[in-house]
Amino acid sequence: MARTLMKGNHAAVYGAVMAGCTAYYGYPITPASEIAEGAAEIFPKLNRTFLQAESEIAAINMVYGAAGSGRRVMTASSGPGISLKMEGLSYCAGSALPCVVVDVMRGGPGLGNIGPEQSDYNQVVKGGGHGNYRNLVLAPNSCQEMCDFTMLAFDLADRYRNPVFVLTDGVIGQMMEAVELPKPVTHIPDRSEWAVCGTPLNKNLINSIYLDLDDLERWNMALDAKYRSVKENEVRYEEYLMDDAKIAVVGYGCVSRVLRSTVEMARARGIKVGLFRPITLFPFPEKQIRAFADRGVEKVLTVELSTGQLVDDVNLSLQGTLKSDLYYRVGGNVPSALEILNRISELYGV
């Protein structure tokens, strides 16, 4: 299929459409609104549901309803809206409902601003809402990946019956690139065993309440087992010139693009820098980062648009094996490749 120039936010809509998402429930917020706008334009052409909900909370509960009805469904928002969705996400996870949420991160805390940030990392990657649950989290760094990962997110959501996040930032959401649209799916997994749908109606129960203490413990353990399986099977990451790298830079989303330029500039100066880019933030590529030392990496610099959220996971993975540093910009600022290279020179005397 032809390549089309489109915003990352619109690419996410196409990914959802091609994945067979039949319902979009959302609320406007910059810099994510183009996802709702795109869905509003495209979904009705396919008799699919687009609804601008009365609130972010309503939107995620509509997602809960559609998911429990066996439909592929999504919503999208940005930090303040994601905060509001946490209760519903906990219910989705607690009721084992597959759904997809796109978070186009902006500056915080509070109202912050609409510039790009990555400060929703903890609330999205660590669960955010109440109870023992995790979101699967994919972090695209291009418009093509906004499309592809949104599509992939629906498969993962079905495979694990769990919310899956596409966690991106204002830069990726707002930028335009050529996107090659994937083909629409031909098959959507059968949900009749658990969903409330079908004719005759599958009289199932969508539920997260377990009054019996042991029942709830057993359910939590089942969820935990699921997340262990996710950790075992779904780690995704990308490397660029890591094989002979002495310094590894770690970053995701729009930062990983800048870091790629940093690596090229560093290499031009003869500094052996490599890029490690986590694609899944949960599951986090722990083993791969833990293996840095064995591969000859000596220093690790995490770069993020948050004041030290990603770096916590990097450090947990490293388990103290390597010197680890953090460089961040926030408030809507994105560091330049040269700025990061200068930081590398300062830190490591190269």
Residue 54 or 244 having the CB closest to another protein = 54
Per CB under 8 A, contacts with another protein among 274-313 are: none
CA dist 7 and 349 (Å) reads 39
Q: Under a CB-based contact definition with an 8 Å cutoff, are residues 306 and 118 in contact?
A: yes
Residue 143 or 152 having the CB closest to another protein = 143
Tell me how far, at minimum, the Cβ of 323 lies from another protein, in Å.
Answer: 25
**Four-point Cα dihedral 281, 287, 290, 294, nearest 10:** -140
- Which residues does 171 contact at the CB level (< 8 Å), separation at least 6? 116, 253, 254, 334
- Which residues does 68 contact at the CB level (< 8 Å), separation at least 6? 95, 97, 195, 196, 206
User: Among residues 339, 164, 331, 145, which one has the least CA distance to residue 234?
Assistant: 164
Residue 173 or 283 having the CB closest to another protein = 173
Per CB under 8 A, contacts with another protein among 118-157 are: none
Residue 185 or 293 having the CB closest to another protein = 185
Tell me how far, at minimum, the Cβ of 339 lies from another protein, in Å.
Answer: 9
Which residue has 């979009």 as its token pair? 24
Per CB under 8 A, contacts with another protein among 190-249 are: 196-197, 199-209, 211-212, 215
- What secondary structure does DSSP assign to 122-184, as a single string? HHHHS--SSSS---EEE---SHHHHHHHHHHHHHHHHHHTSEEEEEEEHHHHH-EEEEEPPPP
Tell me how far, at minimum, the Cβ of 346 lies from another protein, in Å.
Answer: 19
> What angle (nearest 5°) sits at the alpha carbon of residue 18, between those of residues 137 and 50?
85
Residue 52 or 315 having the CB closest to another protein = 52
x/- letters, 67..106, toward another protein (CB under 8 A): -xxxx-x-------------xx--x---x-----------
Which one among 39, 105, 124, 171 touches another protein, defined by CB under 8 A? 171
User: Among residues 301, 313, 219, 217, which one has the least CA distance to residue 263?
Assistant: 301
> What angle (nearest 5°) sits at the alpha carbon of residue 265, between those of residues 259 and 269?
140
DSSP state at residue 307:
S
Tell me how far, at minimum, the Cβ of 72 lies from another protein, in Å.
Answer: 9
Which one among 222, 225, 291, 338 touches another protein, defined by CB under 8 A? 338
Amino acid sitting at position 128? G
Contacting range for another protein; rule: CB under 8 A; set: 108-116, 145-153, 241-249, 277-285: 108-116
By CB under 8 A, is residue 62 in contact with another protein?
Answer: yes
Per CB under 8 A, contacts with another protein among 12-51 are: 17-18, 20, 22-23, 25, 30-31, 42, 45-49, 51
Between β-strands 176-180 and 3-7, what pairing exists: parallel, antiparallel or unpaired? antiparallel
Which one among 238, 264, 286, 325 touches another protein, defined by CB under 8 A? 264
How many of the chain's residues bind another protein (CB under 8 A)?
85
Which one among 28, 80, 296, 332 touches another protein, defined by CB under 8 A? 332
Which one among 40, 175, 322, 350 touches another protein, defined by CB under 8 A? 175
Tell me how far, at minimum, the Cβ of 105 lies from another protein, in Å.
Answer: 13
